[in-house]
Amino acid sequence: MNFGAITSILGHLLIVEAGLMVPSLLVAFFYGSYDWKAILLSIIITGAVGFVMSRVFKYKKDIQIKEGLAIVGFGWILVSIFGALPFIFSNTIPSWIDAFFETVSGFTTTGASIVDNIESFPKGVLFWRSFTHWIGGMGILVFTVALMPMLGIGGFQIYKTESPGPTPDRIVPRVRDTAKILYTIYTSITIIQIILLVLGGMSLYDSALHTFGTVGTGGFGIKAISVGYYQSTYIHLVIGIFMTLCGANFSLHYLLVKGKWREVVRNNELRFYLGTILFSVILIAINIYSPMKYNNFGIALRDSFFQVSSIITTTGYVTVDFDKWPTFSKVILFALMFIGGCAGSTAGGIKNIRIVVLLKSIRREFYRILHPRAVIPIKVDGKVISNNIIAGISSFFALFIFIFIITTMIVSLDGVDFESATSAVASTLGNVGPAFGFAGPSRSYSGFSDLSKFVMSVCMLLGRLEIFTLLILLNPSLWKSEGFNIRLN
| Terminal Cα-to-Cα distance of the chain (whole angstroms) | 23
> Which residue, 156, 151, 152, 4, is CA-closest to 65?
156
Q: 7 a known binding residue? A: no
Cα-based distances in Å from 57 to 13, 100, 141, 482: 14, 27, 19, 13
| Coil vs helix vs strand at 383 | strand
| Coil vs helix vs strand at 384 | strand
Phi-psi region at 314: left, alpha or beta (left = phi > 0; alpha = psi -120 to 50):
left
How far apart (Å, rounded) are the C-alpha atoms in residues 174 and 489? 32
8 Å CB contact between 439 and 423: yes
Q: 432 a known binding residue? A: yes
For the chain, helix (H) and strand (E) counts, in that order, are: 22, 2
Give one DSSP letter per residue of 442-462, joined into a string.
TS-STTS-HHHHHHHHHHHHH
HEC string for 243-276 = HHHHCCCHHHHHHHHCCCHHHHHCCHHHHHHHHH
Q: 431 a known binding residue? A: yes
222 alpha-carbon distance from chain centroid: 18
Q: 244 a known binding residue? A: no
| Coil vs helix vs strand at 379 | strand
Annotated binding site: 109-110, 218, 314-315, 431-432
Annotated binding site for K(+): 109-110, 218, 314-315, 431-432
